[in-house]
Amino acid sequence: MPNSQAPANGSAPSRRMFLSGAVAVAATAAGGSLLSACSTPNNASGNGGVAAGSSLKKLLPAYVASNAVQPDIAGVNGSTPGFLKYPADLVTSVSGTPGKGGSYKAMTPAWWSLPSSDNAYFKAVNKALGTNIKIQESDGTTYQDKIGAILASSDIPDWMNLPTWNLTGQIPNAVGSKFADLGPYLSGDEIKKYPNLAAIPTAAWQYATFGGKLKGIPLSSELKTGNPVYYRKDIFDTLGVQPPKSAAEFLSLAKQITDAKNNRWACDDMWVSAQAFFGCVPDRPSYWKLDNGKLVNKVETEEYLAALDWTRKLFKAGVVHPDAVALKTADAKTRFESGKTLIYSDGNGAWHEAVARQAAINPKFNMQAMDFFAADGGDPTLWYAAPAYMFSFLNKKLSKAQIEELLAVANYLAAPFGTKEYELVTYGAEGVHFKKDKNGIPQTTDQGKKDVTSSYGFLSTPPPAYAYVAYPQNVKDYCAWDARMAPFFKKPLFYGMQIQEPTRFATLGASFLDLQNDYTRGRKSLSDVKSAISSWRSTGGEELRTFYKKILDANGGAS
């Protein structure tokens, strides 16, 4: 759930872990989107926009790194910092009580059983906030339908979370017309009134601009690129094999370690990883590259076709688990942890979760992340993913004083790991929702398991840090891997730009989702893929290319 600076013991709900599970599937499956123009203000008629140049610089908040708590492992070249122990003495990052006694409704998604809104956890946090935040949790799997209905009505909550994958249909237009402009409160040095918000990376704030205005509070992304490629090092060691360093080595190794008679396959579906190995550009809106000055879409690139072909070879070789062949994705974690597959791709949260689950079950369990490689064995080309994966918005009907009160609350909620504020929001009240063990690490009580959710983390959250202090070796392993990969990251075109495509393009690329699965599994041919690409161009792709070219010419691509 929305915070990588997660509960230290793994038993409380993590505030930025859900992208490693079902929600990652929702984010990936979400299709195209909406209305935008190149550089004109957003308005109720649906004209979008992309702020650029001096106007963008004036719009963005100043960045001031937090020095509230120093990590045990510093970030390198933008890699994620890590914490190896829970601080004995927590610091205070917010003086006084941020709220002014107001009462507000907040709407967030939830991928868990909904607790009572009147439980002891919400009461404890709201008391510390000095504000009554009445959180209305809605089933995350049907959140798209819920928010569409809410935004079409006149009953808009005071504070509302919107995941990026839900920014479809007319929702981006609603962002412009229904939510407050936060620029007057946060742009430039104004944000220094809220130090924890000022520590959110600039790119995330840029991504929160809609139609030339700063509209959202971004929940900054933890992963810079696609999912890590995990492997069972303990079993690799037993088999006497090493991780591959090229696409050809991967295929050869996969054939070597597959033993179907003993219920062991080399891997799960590796399509996501294949795109990283072959240097494919990311998904919308950064799914373009320049080739001799021409914009070329991801599906038109040689890298895309090569990634498809290589993935097809894995399936043909019989090294992919049969359930993955059958698109049964829900049990991928179980297959990997049980040793039925030795390699799979998942969110970075999956690493800690698996380590925590297996600690008592299988002490020899050793899960590691492979270093990315270029398909030919050279250095990889890794692309930054979107700088934020969710936003929260404030109702434009709120008064200036109310907006300032909620921004002060957001600043409290964005307190980093190692602060008193973070501990309360993450674990609840000590003695009620958690107790500390002999190492000073919070351990969730039965009451905590019942009451505490990640709900506040959908409103505001600190920048990423890896803080699974109950498993310090996992922290070391993750931070070392992340630091090794950091030098290979590049910004794709349109990085950090909040671009909504015209609605006529909403389903333009939808057919490729099924086509990718069919081709890699041998049910479609290369001619089918090339035909789909040709159809994409003639049914809107060329028009979409012109649309993005205008934005590129006006804004210069990635900033």
Per-residue pLDDT reduced to its tens digit, 386-408? 899 899 999 999 999 999 999 99
Residue 424 identity: L
Percent of all residues in the chain with a pLDDT value above 90, rounded to a whole number: 75
Least confident of 139-148, 240-249, 425-434, 437-446: 139-148
Angle at 339 between CA 335 and CA 344, to 5 degrees: 55
DSSP for 205-231, please give it.
HHHTEETTEE--EEEE-S-SSS--EEE
Dist. CA 161–CA 108, nearest whole Å = 5
Distance separating alpha carbons of residues 114 and 439, to the nearest angstrom: 32
Indicate whether 14 pLDDT > 90.
no
Q: 3-class SS at 389? A: strand
Q: Are 266 and 341 in contact (CB under 8 A)?
A: yes
Q: What is the mean pLDDT of residues 87-110?
A: 96
291 and 304 fall within a common domain: yes
Query: Within a domain: residue 9?
Result: no
Residue written as token pair 């249909």: 169
Same domain, 246 and 353: yes
Instruction: Answer yes or no: are the C-beta atoms of 20 and 346 closer than 8 Å.
Output: yes
The reply to whether 426 and 531 lie within a common domain is: no
Decide if pLDDT at 284 tops 60: yes
Confidence of residue 499 (pLDDT cuts 50, 70, 90): confident
pLDDT tier, 187 (very low <50, low <70, confident <90, very high otherwise): very high
Distances (CA, A) of 495 to 50, 384, 477, 551: 12, 8, 28, 12
- The span from the first CA to the last CA of the chain, in angstroms, equals 29
Alpha-carbon separation of residue 353 from 28, 325, 350, 539 (angstroms): 21, 25, 5, 44
Classify residue 6: in a domain, yes or no.
no
- Residue 32 has what pLDDT? 30
Q: Would residue 50 count as lying in a domain?
A: no
Kindly tell me the burial class for residue 335, based on how many C-beta atoms sit within 10 Å of its own C-beta (0-12, 13-18, 19 or more).
Answer: buried
Domain annotation covers residue 159: yes
Averaged pLDDT, 47-69:
78
- Nearest residue to 536 (alpha-carbon basis) of 318, 304, 204: 304
Last residue of a domain, one of 466, 489, 512: 489
Same domain flag for 465 and 407: yes
Range list of β-strands (E), 288-446: 288-291, 294-297, 341-345, 367-369, 382-383, 388-394, 434-436, 442-444
CB 69 within 8 A of CB 463: no
| Ramachandran bin of 56, using left for φ above 0, alpha for ψ from -120 to 50, beta for the remaining angles | alpha
Q: Which residues pair with 435 in a beta bridge?
A: 443
Q: Is the pLDDT of residue 22 over 60?
A: no
Tell me how far apart the alpha carbons of residues 85 and 323 are, in angstroms, rounded to a whole number: 39
Q: In this predicted structure, what is the pLDDT of residue 557?
A: 55
CA distance 291 to 372: 24
Q: Which residue has the higher pLDDT, 347 or 253?
A: 253
Work out the number of other CB atoms within 10 angstroms of the CB of residue 473. Answer: 11
- CA-atom Rg of the chain in angstroms: 23
In a domain, 141, yes or no: yes
> 3-state DSSP call for residue 300?
helix
How many C-beta atoms lie closer than 10 Å to residue 326's C-beta? 9
Tell how far CA 539 is from the center of its chain.
31
Instruction: Give the Cα-Cα-Cα angle 399, 402, 403 (nearest 5 degrees).
Output: 85
Quick one: 545 exposed, middle or buried, by C-beta within 10 A (0-12, 13-18, 19+)?
A: middle
* pLDDT exceeds 60 at position 365: yes
Per-residue pLDDT band for 8 (boundaries 50, 70, 90) equals low
Helix (H) or strand (E) holding 276: helix 271-277
- One-letter amino acid of 9: N
At CA 291, angle to CA 289 and CA 293, rounded to 5?
100
Residue 344 shares a structural domain with residue 455: no
Residue 481: domain span = 18-28+59-224+388-489
Sheet-wide strand order for 217-220: 132-139, 103-110, 159-163, 388-394, 217-220
State the Cα angle at 16 between 13 and 20, rounded to 5°. 95
Between 39-53, 154-168, 232-246, 339-353, the lowest mean confidence (pLDDT) is in: 39-53
CA–CA dist 453, 426 (Å, integer):
8
Instruction: Return left, alpha or beta for 17; rule: phi > 0 is left, psi -120 to 50 is alpha, else beta.
Output: alpha
pLDDT number for residue 74: 95
For residues 220 and 234, membership in a common domain is answered with no
Tell me which residue of 139, 229, 166, 227 sits closest to 29, measured CA to CA: 166
Q: Which residues pair with 442 in a beta bridge?
A: 436
Distance (Å, whole) CA 150 – CA 517: 35
Are residues 327 and 370 both part of a single domain? Answer: yes
pLDDT of residue 540: 96
Q: Is the pLDDT score of 254 beyond 50?
A: yes
Tokens 């007319």 sit on residue = 170
d(CA 128, CA 190): 24
Q: What percent of the chain has pLDDT over 70?
A: 89
Shared domain for 248 and 357, answered yes or no, is yes
Dihedral angle sign, alpha carbons of residues 154, 157, 158, 159 = negative
Band of the pLDDT at 249, cuts 50, 70, 90?
Answer: very high
Q: Looking at the 3D structure of the chain, how many domains does it have?
A: 2
Residue bearing the bigger pLDDT, 52 or 224: 224
263 within some domain: yes
Using the predicted structure, report yes or no on whether residue 7 has a pLDDT greater than 60.
Answer: no
CATH number for the domain harbouring residue 533: 3.40.190.10
Q: How far is CA 382 from CA 272, 281, 300, 369, 487, in A?
A: 13, 8, 19, 15, 9
Query: Tens digits of per-residue pLDDT, 286-313?
Result: 999 999 999 999 999 999 999 999 999 9
For the stretch 221-245, pLDDT in tens is: 766 666 899 999 999 999 999 999 9
Residue 259 is given by DSSP the state B
**219 and 108 both lie in a single domain:** yes
> Domain for residue 269, yes or no?
yes
Q: Rounded distance, CA 213 to CA 181, Å?
A: 6
Are both 190 and 309 inside the same structural domain? no
Residue after which a domain boundary falls, among 433, 466, 489:
489
- For the packed helices 526-536 and 511-520, what is the interaxial angle rounded to 10 degrees? 170
453 within some domain: yes
Residue bearing the bigger pLDDT, 439 or 21: 439
So what's the pLDDT on residue 39? 31
Clarify whether residues 356 and 400 are in a common domain: no
Q: What's the CA angle centered on 502, arms 530 and 51, to 5 degrees?
A: 115
